[in-house]
Amino acid sequence: MEKRFMILFTSIFLILNLFSLIHAIGEKNESITKEIVLQAINESEKVILEMQGKNFSIDYINDSLTEAKRVLEQVKYAEILRGEINSTEKEKKDARTILRLVNWKNITYGDVLIYTEEIQNRKEHAFLLIDKLAVEENQLSQSSNETKSIFEKAKIAFFEERYNDTEKLLLDFQKAVEKEKQESSTLAGIKNSAKNFFQKYGDYILTTFIFLIIVSYLIYKKFEKKILKSKIKKMKTEEQVLASLMKKTQEERFKENNISGLVYNIRMKKYEEKLQEIKEELPALEEKLRRFKNK
């Protein structure tokens, strides 16, 4: 009996907390006014100017700001349809036309802040990464070309607004630097051991190596045609899948209005880049296969 009472008491406690949380969120959204949102948009425009002045790429935050302004406009028309502001019949008609594909009943100024907060977060992320790049650049002088290449890729990713890739590449760079430091302490001993080994077994190793190269080449030539056909088939299938995904994305954006313009642009850019890669590589593979058949 006591156990059942405890379960009942815990359930009631959790339900009450859930209602309190929902109520708090509702109150927070209601406390967000148009003036607060306009100030947030103004701050976002300053962020864009600041990042532009630092020669940072601003495509993503520009798209976010455009989306914020679009949602702000939708809130205005939603308020008209909800009867929250005085409006003429023409204004109501215009609002219904503009929001015909939008679930306007729950649109609030809080929805605008989602995009302006993302712009602020983006700015903080960008300045944090540029500081990290400056710190790690000090280690380039003692790094190998391969490790330097990782750092250069990180810089490119940063200026292309691929901040997650930048984080990952910087982590890879740090690991590579640490690995090189560890290896440098034992490199001299390894070189001496390797030198003695090759002096003793050099002729045998060279003969075996040449034999393996010849065998590998003969095996590859035997299966080259099959490999080419498989590559071409895979690329054509991928090309069809990409075309289908692009069509579906267009329907979701312009027909169903299930995704925002920002998400639509990101997806389409990704699909188009991959499709372009296939269109550039596929003809070369097909030509190589034709030459192979004519031999």
Taking the C-alpha atoms of residue 167 and residue 165, their distance in angstroms, rounded to an integer, is 5
Q: Record the pTM.
A: 0.52
* pLDDT at site 282: 86
CB 269 within 8 A of CB 162: no
Cβ burial, residue 122 (10 Å; 0-12/13-18/19+) = buried
Backbone phi and psi for residue 256, each to the nearest 5 degrees, phi listed first: -95, -20
Q: Which pLDDT band, with edges at 50, 70 and 90, does 198 fall under?
A: low
Calculate what percentage of the chain has a pLDDT beyond 90: 47
DSSP structural state of residue 102: S
Cβ burial, residue 196 (10 Å; 0-12/13-18/19+) = exposed
- On the question of pLDDT at 62 being above 70, the answer is yes
Calculate what percentage of the chain has a pLDDT beyond 70: 82
Give the residue from 144, 224, 136 showing the smallest Cα distance to 181.
144
**HSE-up of residue 31 (Cα within 13 Å, Cβ side):** 6
* pLDDT at site 20: 41
* pLDDT at site 23: 37
Please list, in sequence order, all residues whose beta carbon lies within 8 angstroms of the beta carbon of residue 238, skipping any fewer than 6 positions away: 274, 278
CB 61 within 8 A of CB 119: yes
* pLDDT at site 235: 85
* pLDDT at site 184: 78
* pLDDT at site 18: 37
Q: What is the pLDDT of the chain when averaged over all its residues?
A: 84
Q: Which pLDDT band, with edges at 50, 70 and 90, does 293 fall under?
A: low
Q: Please compute the mean of the pLDDT values over residues 1-14 and round it to a whole number.
A: 48
List % helix, strand, coil for the chain (3-state, nearest 5): 90, 0, 10
CB 120 within 8 A of CB 47: yes
> How many other C-beta atoms are found inside a 10 Å radius of the C-beta of residue 170?
22
- On the question of pLDDT at 9 being above 60, the answer is no
* pLDDT at site 15: 46
Q: Please compute the mean of the pLDDT values over residues 1-24 and round it to a whole number.
A: 45
* pLDDT at site 21: 38
Please list, in sequence order, all residues whose beta carbon lies within 8 angstroms of the beta carbon of residue 45, skipping any fewer than 6 positions away: 65
DSSP structural state of residue 100: T
- On the question of pLDDT at 47 being above 80, the answer is yes
Q: Which pLDDT band, with edges at 50, 70 and 90, does 211 fall under?
A: confident
Taking the C-alpha atoms of residue 24 and residue 16, their distance in angstroms, rounded to an integer, is 12
Q: Which pLDDT band, with edges at 50, 70 and 90, does 17 fall under?
A: very low
